[in-house]
Amino acid sequence: MESLTSASSTSTLLSLQSKFSKPRKPLVGLTHWVKPKLEVRCVLEAMNNASAAAENDKEVKLWGGRFEESVTDAVERFTESISFDKELYKQDIMGSRAHASMLAKQGLMSMSDRDSILQGLDEIERSIENGEFVWRTDREDVHMNIEAALTDKIGEPAKKLHTARSRNDQVLTDFRLWCRDAIDKIVARIRHLQVSMVILALKNEGLIVPGYTHLQRAQPVLLQHLLLAYVEQLERDAGRLLDCRARQNFSPLGACALAGTGLPIDRFMTSDALGFTAPLRNSIDAVSDRDFVLEFLSANSITAVHLSRLGEEWVLWASEEFGFITPSDSVSTGSSIMPQKKNPDPMELVRGKSARVIGDLVTLLTLCKGLPLAYNRDLQEDKEPAFDSVKTILGMLEVSAEFAQNITFNQERIRKALPAGHLDATTLADYLVKKGVPFRTSHDIVGRSVALCVSKGCQLQELHLKELRTISPFFDEDVYEFLGVENAVKKFSSYGSTGSECVASQLDYWVTKLEIK
């Protein structure tokens, strides 16, 4: 057809050319213009025919009774969520089991239909776990894929499963169950990192390191005290997650689209069966709320920031300038061009990946900020940030524990570095306070003592008593019991301080709490 049309057009143009001697070139050009135009029309017709044929082949949607046309391929591709929400398959099947059992108990389906549904769901779950299940984009999401597969498998009884249930409450049930499981995994990883840090502390008993404020040397601290500071932060991280878990552990199932149902369902039965505390009280809130995942991603973000700070500290300490730690080869990488390099890349990536976790939270906050009640399709976009946040934080925790188990503190290098910075200055001020000198006065006296050291190029403990007494008559022979980093650390005695006895007590607490043997 195309060739005939093109030949006819060319013949007409040639006859026109024979009547006019000028201009010939534009008319020749016209033949080149007409042919593509006709080809485009033919291509469009072919595309329309193919599209019509594809529509005839499409499976009728489970919600398609009111519709006369199928959605276009572009809309189907844009709106599908099966590419990521199939992650919820296990929770979806759990929810369906509980729902089917409740419907049977309430007389909304027969016991034999329930048994067929439960058996079919078991077979589908095995198929998914064996990698045999075919996820279909035209079935949109995890819920429709499983329900349609169940219908293919057992027939009419499967059509009763969606009684008194909407995808709105179904997806929230799945998602809350998934987040609950994810929290349990993250808390377990936090515990593992805490154990790794406590064991690292136990291996380095008595090692004093410089403590920093403003990244400037401040006071001497026991390394164990510093490591336990991160253990304390991680404990709060676990606590936030467990608090979040308690608040999210309420069931939306049976809230339906937004208004509940007039059918005699038992929401308390399904709530108990799924391990929830209770059903959510308000059906509109049940299907529109995303507080539980916002709180979850917020807790993850705080954990990520703590891990990033740990990563930053260890990256600095592994540098040649500090030289305080040496990571083993098993947790280091090299350079493609500089053969001498040994980089603490895992902790650099921990520091870097914190940005992803924070970004996931910001994505979800932005997603929710302008939504009216109740459910809106925008909320389909809540899954991927949550999945990414959990995957990333689990990886960060795992590699941080791995790094902690494979580093060595360079004790000799640290000892040689300790004298710089007059780390015992604050302890010297405390000495004067014990002599009855007001703190502001003692602060000034010690400041002038440090200035003398700077001019002489020496440490406070190297000053002679005569030199100290030129600054203040309150200095006496016993002052040297307060000078030097070892003496300074011994003088710390307040609860929670870096004093040896206090740190030993902290260690005992964590060894017991974390059941370290």
Give the residue numbers annotated as catalytic, written as ranges: 214, 335
Partners of 208 in beta bridges: 222
How far apart (Å, rounded) are the C-alpha atoms in residues 454 and 245? 55
DSSP letter (8 states) at residue 497: S
Sequence-distant (≥ 6) Cβ neighbours of residue 243 within 8 angstroms: none
- 8 A C-beta contact, residue 423 and residue 219: yes
Burial of residue 49, with CB atoms counted within 10 A of its CB: 0-12 exposed, 13-18 middle, 19 or more buried: exposed
Q: Calculate the alpha carbon distances from 255 to 84, 95, 142, 259, 263 in Å.
A: 24, 13, 19, 6, 12
Q: Quote the CA–CA distance of 385 and 378 in Å, as a whole number.
A: 13
Q: Are 427 and 487 in contact (CB under 8 A)?
A: yes
Q: How many C-beta atoms lie closer than 10 Å to residue 436's C-beta? A: 8
Contact between residue 431 and residue 482 where contact means Cβ atoms under 8 Å apart: yes
Cβ atoms of 349 and 402 closer than 8 Å? no
Contacts of 430 (CB under 8 A, 6+ apart): 442, 482, 491
Q: What residue has token string 């401040």?
A: 218
- Provide the b/e sequence for 482-500 (b: ≥16 CB within 10 Å): bbbbeebbebbeeeebbbb
Q: What is the Cα–Cα distance from 338 to 231, expressed in whole angstroms?
A: 36
Q: Are strands 278-279 and 250-251 parallel, antiparallel or unpaired?
A: parallel
The four Cα atoms 184, 189, 193, 198 give a dihedral, to 10 degrees, of 40
| Residue 129, token pair as written in the block | 């776990």
The one-letter code for the residue type at 388 is: D
CA distance 69 to 273: 40
CB atoms within 10 A of CB 72: 12
What are all long-range contacts of 339-348, with beta carbons under 8 Å and residues at least 24 apart? 344/314, 344/315, 344/318, 344/403, 346/399, 346/400, 346/402, 346/403, 347/310, 347/311, 347/312, 347/314, 347/315, 347/318, 347/399, 347/400, 347/403, 348/311, 348/315
